[in-house]
């Protein structure tokens, strides 16, 4: 097409407080102010990136530039439809480059990581056995409802993870098709998993492996080829593109051989009536086979925009800056004896900007509410959709009642939940500095306000 929406060039990072590190990337909402219960307003410190990261300003600008040109894709004869089709399919190529996919790999656009893994669960062979560690996010732990599943205990070292998987795969009976599902970075501890070694173990025992890269892709470069995984799943909303799209990328054979994830227009290549009154359907063998219905073009384009923005910013500098922030937070929390940081692999394990902790004498929901109401800091409390892992880290009995959101316990009473702080490419130093200071003040001085439970949340008492 001769005319296209102008791509944004808004890639200039805001000023860094540390000259040794790259500046944070501009994100939408970086200047939003929120009220404090103690009076006044403060710039909001978004430290819940592991749930949903703010949109990169670059992504927002690209989407805004394209929006007037939005049209239906693939079969429209009009100019906007053809332009949108080009943009949609070019986005597929951009994602393939971002993930360093192999020739022949398919890029299927979904709604999220959860949707991607549920799709994969529908296409695995009928006699396939799935192996998954109890440490996984529920998006990886739960989709395999129609398969035989072996749940592996939480390892305490990366090497133990590899050895545990090798034993389980070698002992499987019958020795048939198998799939391993593993995270690249924990959404609870932020610790990096030995993906390449786990992939080697899987392939050595005739199994395939899918990587949940929801927490890895926003922080580190991810290469299908280098990691030698069969599939990768991730979400746009954690990759600074919160517009409702996700990705499943990888080998085409199981995808081509299965029934479509959803039946409908777009997935079908040819539909004809039979003489007996029924209907014959020929399904696409491309990624369209599992993309029935009108796709989320804007969501897909936003993912492609984020992939380009992160690549152009350079992961080396992004990783260096994140390590700087991680060191600040961990050092600050270490100075507060009442804080216990949760970890599987130990203090020296490499990690992304995701840290969970508990505070002696505090209900975690109460602590998170005070961070928000008194300091303008947004973190998360609960079990983080990884209940078995958090229970293991907290040393609780499997039958102990867990708490997501505000428990019925009084503020200050211990409960089975934790606090998670998470950050990334758009986080300025001031946000983590304020967080560390707030933790110290809350522990040493207590909350300045009274709190109560309302509709499942701990909120300030008016």
Tens digits of per-residue pLDDT, 37-48? Answer: 999 999 999 999
Sign of the CA dihedral with 174 first, then 150, 156, and 344 last:
positive
Q: What is the pLDDT of residue 414?
A: 57
- Of 346, 336, 327, the C-alpha closest to 432 is 327
Task: Give per-residue pLDDT as tens, 88-144.
Answer: 999 999 999 999 999 999 999 999 999 999 999 999 999 999 999 999 999 999 999
Q: What is the pLDDT of residue 75?
A: 82
Q: What is the pLDDT of residue 269?
A: 93
Sign of the CA dihedral with 59 first, then 62, 66, and 68 last:
positive
Residue 206 burial (CB count, 10 A)? 12
Q: What is the pLDDT of residue 11?
A: 46
- 52 backbone dihedrals φ, ψ, rounded to 5°: -155, 125
Q: What is the pLDDT of residue 10?
A: 45
Task: Give per-residue pLDDT as tens, 41-92.
Answer: 999 999 999 999 999 999 999 999 999 999 999 988 999 999 999 999 999 9
Q: What is the pLDDT of residue 339?
A: 98
Contacts of 131 (CB under 8 A, 6+ apart): 149, 150, 152, 165, 168, 169, 178, 179, 180, 181, 207
Whole-angstrom Cα distance, residue 457 to residue 382?
Answer: 11
| 319 burial via Cβ count (<10 Å: 0-12, 13-18, 19+) | middle
**Which listed residue (128, 385, 404, 458) is catalytic?**
385
Mean pLDDT (the chain, rounded): 93
- Beta carbons of 106 and 252 less than 8 angstroms apart: yes
- Beta carbons of 220 and 315 less than 8 angstroms apart: yes
Where helices occur in 55-206 by DSSP H, the ranges are 57-66, 79-98, 113-123, 138-141, 158-170, 195-204
Q: What is the pLDDT of residue 2?
A: 41
Q: Decide the pairing of beta strands 231-235 and 208-212.
A: parallel
Element (H, E) at 302: helix 297-313
* Cross-strand bridge partners of residue 381: 419
Q: What is the pLDDT of residue 12?
A: 47
Q: What is the pLDDT of residue 1?
A: 45
Q: What is the pLDDT of residue 22?
A: 79
Beta-sheet strand order (sheet of 148-152): 106-110, 246-250, 231-235, 208-212, 178-183, 129-133, 148-152
| 270 burial via Cβ count (<10 Å: 0-12, 13-18, 19+) | exposed
Task: Give per-residue pLDDT as tens, 155-167.
Answer: 999 999 999 999 9
Half-sphere exposure in the Cβ direction for 93 (13 Å, CA):
6
Length of the chain: 462
Q: What is the pLDDT of residue 405?
A: 56
HEC string for 347-406: CCCCECCEEEEEECCCCHHHHHHHHHHHHCEECEEECCCCHHHHHHHHCCCCCCCCCCCC
- Beta carbons of 202 and 209 less than 8 angstroms apart: yes
Q: What is the DSSP annotation of 58-99? A: HHHHHHHHHGGG----SS--SHHHHHHHHHHHHHHHHHHHHT
Query: Catalytic: 20?
Result: no
Whole-angstrom Cα distance, residue 205 to residue 186?
Answer: 25
Grouping H, G, I as helix, E, B as strand and the rest as coil, residue 43 is strand
Q: What is the pLDDT of residue 106?
A: 98
Residues 141-151 have a mean pLDDT of: 96
327: which 2 tokens?
């060191």
Q: Decide the pairing of beta strands 451-454 and 418-422.
A: unpaired
Asked if pLDDT for residue 402 goes beyond 80, the answer is no
Q: What is the pLDDT of residue 284?
A: 95
Task: Give per-residue pLDDT as tens, 331-390.
Answer: 999 999 999 999 999 999 999 999 999 999 999 999 999 999 999 999 999 999 999 999
Residue 349 burial (CB count, 10 A)? 16
- Beta carbons of 150 and 181 less than 8 angstroms apart: no
């Amino acid at each position: 097409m001769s005319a296209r929406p102008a791509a944004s060039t808004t890639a200039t990072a805001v000023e860094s407080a540390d000259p040794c590190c790259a500046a944070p990337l501009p994100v939408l909402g970086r200047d939003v102010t929120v009220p404090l219960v103690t009076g006044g307003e403060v710039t909001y410190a978004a430290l819940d990136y592991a749930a949903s990261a703010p949109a990169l300003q670059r992504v927002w600008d690209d989407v805004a530039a394209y929006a007037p040109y939005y049209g239906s894709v693939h079969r429209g004869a009009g100019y906007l439809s053809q332009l949108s089709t080009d943009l949609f399919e070019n986005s597929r190529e951009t994602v393939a480059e971002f993930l360093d996919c192999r020739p022949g790999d398919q890029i299927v656009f979904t709604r999220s990581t959860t949707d991607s893994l549920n799709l994969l669960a529908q296409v695995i062979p009928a006699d396939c056995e799935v192996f998954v560690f109890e440490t996984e996010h529920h998006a990886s732990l739960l989709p395999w409802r129609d398969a035989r599943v072996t749940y592996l205990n939480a390892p305490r070292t990366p090497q133990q993870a590899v050895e545990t998987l090798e034993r389980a795969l070698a002992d499987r009976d019958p020795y048939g098709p198998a799939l391993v599902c593993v995270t690249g970075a924990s959404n609870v501890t932020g610790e990096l998993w030995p993906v390449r070694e786990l992939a080697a173990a899987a392939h050595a025992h005739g199994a395939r492996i899918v990587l949940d890269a929801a927490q890895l892709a926003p922080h580190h470069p991810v290469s299908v080829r280098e990691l030698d995984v069969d599939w990768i799943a991730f979400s746009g909303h954690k990759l600074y593109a919160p517009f409702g799209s996700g990705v499943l990328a990888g080998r085409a054979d199981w995808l081509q051989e299965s029934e479509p994830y959803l039946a409908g227009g777009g997935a079908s290549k040819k539909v004809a009536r039979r003489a007996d009154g029924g209907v014959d359907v020929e399904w696409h063998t491309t990624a369209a086979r599992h993309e029935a219905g009108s796709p989320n073009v804007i969501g897909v384009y936003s993912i492609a925009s984020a992939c380009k923005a992160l690549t152009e910013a350079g992961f080396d500098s992004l990783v260096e800056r994140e390590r700087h922030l991680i060191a600040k937070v961990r050092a600050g929390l270490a100075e507060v004896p009442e804080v216990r940081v949760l970890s599987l692999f130990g203090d020296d394990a490499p990690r992304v900007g995701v840290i969970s902790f508990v505070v002696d004498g505090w209900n975690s929901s109460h602590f998170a509410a005070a961070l928000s109401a008194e300091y303008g800091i947004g973190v998360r409390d609960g079990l983080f959709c990884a209940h078995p892992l958090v229970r293991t880290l907290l040393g609780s009995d499997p039958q102990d009642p867990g708490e997501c959101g505000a428990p019925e316990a009084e503020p200050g009473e211990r409960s089975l939940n934790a606090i998670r702080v998470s950050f990334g490419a758009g986080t300025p130093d001031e946000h983590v500095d304020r967080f560390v200071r707030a933790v110290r003040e809350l522990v040493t001085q207590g909350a300045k306000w009274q709190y109560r439970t309302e509709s499942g949340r701990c909120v300030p008492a008016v």
